[in-house]
Amino acid sequence: MSDPRPIGVFDSGVGGLTVLRELQRQLPHESTIYFADLGHFPYGPRYQAQVRTFALNIIRFLEKLDVKLVVIACNTATAAALNTARELFDIPIIGVITPGAEAAVAATKNKRVGVISTEGTMQSQEYLHAIREANPTIGVLPKAAPQLVDLVEAGKSDAPETETVLREALRDIIDYHADTLILGCTHYPLLTPVIKKITGDTMTIVDSADTTAARVKRVLAKNGLESAEAQTANHQIYVTGSPDRFTDVARILFGQDLPPITTVRLELVEAISGREGAA
């Protein structure tokens, strides 16, 4: 038996496309629906309860589109909503924090790991908890760099101002002599060339896109949810808010034509959810 239903993936903007791209590379026969919540972008500075509401509403919207699994392709939303979502929904839901943390634990040689993320992800301490659960002897130094999300969304990944922000964010982590760096935001893989310019060969960079896609592959297989290899994959994108800037940056990221983009009103997403997640 095969399951041709799509995989749902969501984020506040273009960042989650790094996860989507890896999913499509590792699982070429799987259809996907990507949801970018541009109307509420960015998630990082918001209260966790607010982000949780947004995330649960989106998952309900994706559920109405008959997805078979949901990937929360956003560290802030994973920290705020993953546990609650798993309690509320009957489909598998995968976040990006645990796969990234486990990859960092496997990579570090000196047991010192740095994490750069949004403010919301840092305050949640979810990376610290996930790393310590895997290996309690590992030291973790988190740093928030909230400006980076806006810079990536503006298409300024390699701009001088971005390098300045990165150097400031990484200074303490470099002084800490961390040998492994977790990119704790799905926007940050787009900054890898600049990060490598700053850190040289001193750090292993962990991007959770690869490990998250690998986990999705395992969960699909374990639950009998894989599509047939003969299936032609179909991909769709839904956005709230204006798709113009999203489209420009997304094209650069994908390096190819994008799937069809459908704009959805925030009111529709809330109506479909029944606003049950607003509590």
pLDDT band at 279 (very low <50, low <70, confident <90, very high): very low
User: What residue has token string 């800037």?
Assistant: 245
What residues does CATH 3.40.50.1860 cover in the chain?
7-95+210-278, 97-208
Helix, strand, coil share of the chain (percent; to 5): 50, 15, 30
CATH architecture of 7-95+210-278: 3-Layer(aba) Sandwich (3.40)
Closest to 43 (Cα-Cα) out of 70, 30, 35: 35
Q: Please report the pLDDT score of residue 275 as a whole number.
A: 52
State the pLDDT at residue 278: 40
DSSP 87-141: HH-SS-EEESHHHHHHHHHHH-SSSEEEEEE-HHHHHHTHHHHHHHHH-TT-EEE
For the chain, how big is the Rg over CA atoms in Å?
A: 18
**Directed axis angle between helix 160-175 and helix 192-199, to 10°?**
50
Active-site residue, 112 included = no
Of 80, 89, 75, 83, residue with least CA distance to 212: 75
Each residue's pLDDT tens digit, 82-123? 999 999 999 999 999 999 999 999 999 999 999 999 998 999
**Average of per-residue pLDDT values in the chain:** 92
Residue-wise pLDDT for 202-213, tens only, equals 999 998 898 999
- Segment 152-191, tens digit of pLDDT: 888 899 999 999 999 999 999 999 999 999 999 988 998 9
Q: Which of 62, 185, 194, 213 is catalytic?
A: 185
Instruction: Supply the pLDDT for residue 170.
Output: 97
For 7, 72, 168, 238, 264, the CA distances from 213, given in Å and listed in that order, are 11, 11, 31, 20, 26
Q: What's the whole-number mean pLDDT along residues 46-51?
A: 94
Mean pLDDT of 230-253: 86
The pLDDT value given to residue 277: 41
Q: To 5 degrees, how large is the angle CA 144–CA 113–CA 141?
A: 40
Decide if 12 is catalytic: no
% of the chain surpassing 90 pLDDT = 75
The predicted pLDDT at position 56 comes to 97
pLDDT score at 255: 66
Q: Which of 69, 74, 79, 97 is catalytic?
A: 74
Of the candidates 196, 26, 204, 178, which has an alpha carbon nearest to the alpha carbon of residue 106? 204
Global pTM exceeds 0.85: yes
pLDDT digits (tens, 9 = 90+) for 49-59: 999 999 999 99
CATH number of 97-208: 3.40.50.1860
